[in-house]
Structure 1
């Protein structure tokens, strides 16, 4: 009996009648498993000479039978490469598919099945277990945070109680001093009271004696006796007590807090969690630096390819040309032209919403992490917001400058606005302003060492490392500034003339920018440090690309200044 693979989940029997051996082989022409001996017998038959017999695990997967809707008697067995739709043989002969290239749908289906089967083990054996390990680590971190914070609370209470004891001791000592001062003052007053009392007794005695002299019968005796006592002793001198005063301590809450301990929060940037590498991973064709180098090994397996595959094409109704695109969800996109029309469409090209805005053919709209639309009115210097669940459009931010480009961060909800202001007949100024997701001003990015960073910031986006990337058609360069608002680098293209327009970044940190140089436009891809990686060129060529955006699956959406067609490409290896 043929050997059975160790990883087999069940025994596949030979499809030949009365043969009970292991079906290690498979005939793609007959859709039948067979053992090696039956394979040899099978191929000896003249009618089977051209049959494709392969290892069972490499077999073509039989396509499910599906009837054509237009021709119910025909099976769907072809794939139109241009239209990316399944067809029957009768559909393929119609004029709408003239000169189109077709693929065997069964082969295409089988190749995709093999791709899926190759992906499943990595999901089950690597991605899910690794993610669960991360989840366990996060839970452990949560418990550690709780323990640390509870210990910190206890220390704060102990510190405060000790402070209270010191305050109580100081209060007791002050009260004792008050008692001593009071006792001393009362003793002095008691002594003065005794002196005055003795003086009053003396006066009363003198008063009686004088009265007795006046009542005496002999005048001579009165004169003789009284002459000795005519002088009255002076009133004794006494002093007023000087009472003490108390000056209350005047302490602010901050001064009291300074006497206690301090909570120190480490401002160091959190370290990325380590993710074990997928064993089948290979490194990228180009080494990346800085923060991008810290991305997971799984992400780094993908790199941009010079050739791209078009996976979808759709026509946007209501606009003539496509100057800017904003991904709403995986199934919706906002698109605008240079005439003030802003349209939401699904991936089948059905219009869902339409808004009339001011005329500007730049990146003036964006979609927030909550799927709310935000767009700028350059003429009235107002930024409007349209909530996903509401039809009304309401003013969100008012400015003194002209808002010409806008981007909503999906990291923290912050809103970046490229602005311009005319300062004279031929002079203007430009900057990028960051607002919170609630519309409050945070800060501006304006100059670097007294040098203006921007001239015409027509398109703006944010990279995974926090860099703000601006496509500036006035300076003819891509200006990149870090989170600290410091200029990192400027990219000036690969040709003598560089006309940057639409710009976006993907989940790997690539910066993707349109170079709309007349009919020879390209799409440039650079890394997080401004190093050129590649030009993207599709099989049918890229002409006058003006707008780009990437969804969360790294599908690249490209709009053109010459039509209302969006092409969707796969561009990563």
Structure 2
């Protein structure tokens, strides 16, 4: 795309003043002379009586110069006048001609400047709003593609599991029915055997009677006449067995399909993709200087912070209502939620005063998490439920986890999603409204990722980090659930407990074996033992980092929570 000389000048290191040989920064612009000016030349320019009405502005607020264009009727003259009546550009000679006498005119340069500013604004909208938002929506679609593929794969797996379960039931019922046929057959054969025995006995009886009759027939007439008349027993009556009849089950393909579940798309209105409104793009320009400074400080935090050469103890909290501190959550107000291994979950203020106490079934697990709105989410593994506590201390049942026992939970600072570690074992992601959106169980080779993810957190890049008690490892997957790495400590034994991350992407994890806190980089590389008995920590079990980058540490044998500074 072609560029004007002014635009080329704007791309230089700084704009050169256009007055004679002045080489100073031309930060101002005379819209009448079409020249950049430094501050000194601007003042001199205004002193001249000929220039006192000149419009001098900041360079970026300048009017763009009308491009030179020759008149079609007068090729030696430049077009610089616009006739409103004829809606056409004119040169001076056209303006003075009879054809446009009595017409109304405008300065073509003014019209050009207005049009230029208008189209420049539209161009800016394309670059700053429409293109970025469209790219965001494309990214959103790609994420949906990945999510749909995962969901469909989960559905296929569920279908196969259902089919296998049905097959097993069919085999079990068939086996029982066949066993019953053997029992029926045995009973019928026993009945027939008994009937056969009856006739065998009767035949024997007939044989004996035949012998007697033959004996009588061989005697003299006088003896035959004097003998008693023998009566024969009648033939015993028996019944034919009634064989069982098998009636085939009355089912068809549709019946089997219903048994195996129904797959359909819910009849709900699709949620429209969120498009950031145009106003939101320009909102930062309306910030006060103080707000801009605060925003800049926040955005620059990551660049300015670094690991301190030493860890400094800041303060301590003695937490009432708990025997020890296996897990710590700090909310935005600085108040603490602390839990012990007996299921006591308490909230304290900045002075350590007890504000709230809840009895749960939790033990040495990270079963609570502060939310972005100042509330808390906690799990009850025995009830297989997840509860929400609002900032005004109202407790509501939030999620039912079915057959899975939730033991650890984390509320994402990135998007508000809820990550839950399940005992049996998997990690489930729920939306902030409680909708199940992801299950993570196996790696690409089909191997189980988890055994007992009793603490869970999320890193700044979206990685999901869990302490797995039974695997003796920190297991880290990316936000899509793909296994990234597992950290197994620095010695022969390692047993991870509380885990958290900081604004620099570090992973901090407590080791039950060495009673220390390990500091890892975002890729699982070991950096240092950040806390040990040398810093007054004896048996660290729970850790968290607040918005001020303070590190809170809870211990096994005391209800004291200690706060440290390790970033500067």
TM-score (normalised: structure 2): 0.47
TM-score (normalised: structure 1): 0.47
| Greater percentage in helix | 2
